[in-house]
Structure 1
Amino acid sequence: MTLGTQWMTLSLMFASGALLGVFLDVYRVLTRRFTLRGWPISMIDLLFWVSSACFVFAVLLWSNWGEMRFYIMLAIIAGILFYLRLLTKPVSHVLTKLLQFVEWLITKLIRIVEVVICRPIVRLCSLLWRITRAILLFIWKIITKPLLWLLSPLITFCRPYTTKLKNWWASRKKGNDDEPE
């Protein structure tokens, strides 16, 4: 391995360490915002560290075909420490503000979709239902008026019998209410 390749690898590993610090801050900000407990947080931790290891290995593979040397580990650690010592506070602040902005934006977009799409659809469906109901009631009246007119002699003929039946049923119910159980 040439000296140029070693310096490039050293620089890339230092930058990878700093980028791992950024990923760690993103992870911290997100876990503070979305509080998880138990096994989900353990699975996310595992996923974070496996993806970080894969990222570092991919950069190492690209820079020097995956040759692992002692100075490479030192460069990664130095990059992480550099980031954590100097940049973690401003980056965490920016990430927190960015997360708040994204949450605000999503809330506003949901509100816009509700006002522009959902409410008009609900109102349109309500209007269509009222129109359909009015049409069906009109059709029902058109059908039942002639039918009632045709059946009116039968209704008039049966009215005394239905009145007697109704009175008998009412007296029967009153009698059952008075009986002890």
Structure 2
Amino acid sequence: MNLSVQFETMIAMIVMGWIFGALLDTYQRFLQRPTRSRWITFISDVIFWCLYAGFLFYSLYKINYGEIRVYVFLAALCGFAAYQALFKSIYLKILEWIILFFTKISILIKKTIYFLLIWPVVILCKWMINCISLMGTGVITLAKMCLHLLLFIGKVIFFPVGLILKLLPLRIRNKIADINKKIAGVFLLTKNQLINITKRWNK
């Protein structure tokens, strides 16, 4: 391995050390280790270290075909130390700003979707339910009015008939009275059903 390749390898490993520091802080920020269970933390750590190790050795292979020397690890350690000393605080502030920015963007998108798609559908459904309820109440009220009108007309029509029936023999009047009770019972049952339906609609 000639001098230029060694120099490129050192620079690349310094950069990889810096990248490792940034990735580690990003990983720790999103993992929120105190709130996670141990087995989730363990699995996440294994995945993180495997991915970074693969990325590191892939970069090393692209530069010097995977030759590992002591200075490779020293250069990566120097890059990580430089990140910790010079760039960590700046990077964490930028990271928090980026997280806050995308959080606000996601909230804005959610509100936009809600007010453009969900809210109009909810309002339309409520309006349709109110219209159906109003129509049902109107139909039931009209049916009740018609029933009262029919009862009134029946009383007016059958009033002379009642006077005539008083002149009939008692046995015939009793039979007619039984028929009249049955008819009145049907009308009363229909009236009660309409009242119950009206109460349910009003709820």
Q: Same fold (TM over 0.5)?
A: yes
Higher relative contact order (CA 8 A, sep 6+): 1
Percent identical among aligned pairs is 25
Q: Structure 2 matches for 1:1-181, cutoff 5 A?
A: 1-32=1-32, 35-132=35-132, 158-159=182-183
8 A contact 2:20–2:80 mirrored in 1: yes
Instruction: Give the distance between the partners of 1:86 and 1:114, measured in 2 at CA.
Output: 44
How much is the aligned-residue C-alpha RMSD, in angstroms?
Answer: 3.3
Deviation track 1:10-41 (CA, whole Å, cap 9, x = no partner) reads 11111011111110111122234993232112
Deviation track 1:33-54 (CA, whole Å, cap 9, x = no partner) reads 9932321122111111111111
Instruction: Give the distance between the partners of 1:161 and 1:95, measured in 2 at CA.
Output: 80
Structure 1 120/156 Cα, relative in aligned 2: closer, same or farther at 3 Å? farther
Q: TM-score, with normalisation over the residues of structure 1?
A: 0.72
Instruction: Give the distance between the partners of 1:124 and 1:100, measured in 2 at CA.
Output: 35
Larger Rg: 2
Q: Secondary structure at the match of 2:106?
A: helix
Structure 1 97/162 Cα, relative in aligned 2: closer, same or farther at 3 Å? same
Q: TM-score, with normalisation over the residues of structure 2?
A: 0.65
Gaps of at least 5 residues in structure 1 are 164-181
8 A contact 1:29–1:92 mirrored in 2: no
Instruction: Give the distance between the partners of 1:78 and 1:89, measured in 2 at CA.
Output: 17
Q: In the TM superposition, what is the alpha-carbon distance from 1:109 to its structure 2 partner?
A: 1.9
Instruction: Give the distance between the partners of 1:35 and 1:97, measured in 2 at CA.
Output: 22
- Equivalent residue letter for 1:67: E
Structure 1 130/161 Cα, relative in aligned 2: closer, same or farther at 3 Å? closer
- Equivalent residue letter for 1:3: L
